[in-house]
Amino acid sequence: MTSPSRRVVRDGVLAGVAFTLGGSLFSCGAAMAQAGAELVAVNLTYLVGGVFFSGGGWVSVLAATARSRAWRSAVVLFVGTLLFAVSLVAAFASGLTPRQSDGWIWLPDILGCVCFLVSGHLAMLDVGQGRVRVLTGDVDWWIVVVNQVGSVLFFLAGLAAFVRPATSQSVDVGLVNWGTFAGAACFAVAGIIQIGGGLRALRRAPLAG
């Protein structure tokens, strides 16, 4: 197996930084929401975190080999971050009916969660060379697994965020906040692992590239 170029490794480190910041901000936003902070402050924190998530997704696309499993995983992840962006921007709108809230906020959010899950599965196949395997000695495997746990938590939080027309309330606000907090924390931790692994790989990568 050929070693990745320094450019690819640097892109991986940059993506790790972006996901660490994005995950940290999402966790902060969820904690603020659970503590009853002003909605504008919460939404702004989420929005800035979403910018870092999208940036990390785009850099991941650039770092992966075109049409490989890693590239497909990165593309699906990036699409998921864009769907999250739609939801995050729509959250600033006021006076939405439950139907409008579900259409403009919940639907893009849950579709983004599905994209994250699909991306994680493709990433598992990539690190497992076509199979989902347990590879505890592989740093890339740990990054993918921690991210996938985060994606599952995001999905559960997304389901709980559905606004019931009869009550105009989310199914479970606590699950929305704590699921988002824990899921985002997983992405932040995986980002830190990715940064560490990337910096170590950078010392071994070829000087060219």
pLDDT for position 137: 92
170: in domain: yes
Question: How do residues 17-70 score in pLDDT, each as one tens digit?
Answer: 999 999 999 999 999 999 999 999 999 999 999 999 999 999 999 988 877 899
> Does pTM top 0.75 for this prediction?
yes
pLDDT for position 206: 57
**What are 53's two structure tokens?**
């998530």
Question: How do residues 67-102 score in pLDDT, each as one tens digit?
Answer: 789 999 999 999 999 999 999 999 999 889 999 999
pLDDT for position 208: 47
CA 116 to chain CA centroid, Å, is 7
47: in domain: yes
206: in domain: no
115: in domain: yes
- CA-to-CA dists, residue 13 to 22, 56, 100, 116, 197, angstroms: 14, 10, 39, 20, 8
CA 139 to chain CA centroid, Å, is 18
209: in domain: no
207: in domain: no
pLDDT for position 5: 76
Q: How far apart are CA 15 and CA 56, in angstroms?
A: 4
Question: How do residues 130-169 score in pLDDT, each as one tens digit?
Answer: 999 999 999 999 999 999 999 999 999 999 999 999 888 9
Concatenated DSSP letters for 113-167?
HHHHHHHHHHHHHHHTTTS----TT-HHHHHHHHHHHHHHHHHHHHHHTPEETTT
Number of domains composing the chain? 1
Query: At 170, is the secondary structure helix, strand, or coil?
Result: strand
pLDDT for position 3: 59
Helix axes 39-63, 173-204, angle to 10 degrees: 30
Domain that holds residue 101: 6-201
Residue 120 has pLDDT above 50, yes or no: yes
Q: How many other CB atoms are there within 10 angstroms of residue 7's CB atom?
A: 13
**Which of 86, 78, 92 minimizes the C-alpha distance to 104?**
86
pLDDT for position 1: 45
pLDDT for position 203: 79
141: in domain: yes
208: in domain: no
Sign, CA torsion 117/174/36/39: positive
SS percent in the chain: helix, strand, coil, step 5: 75, 0, 20
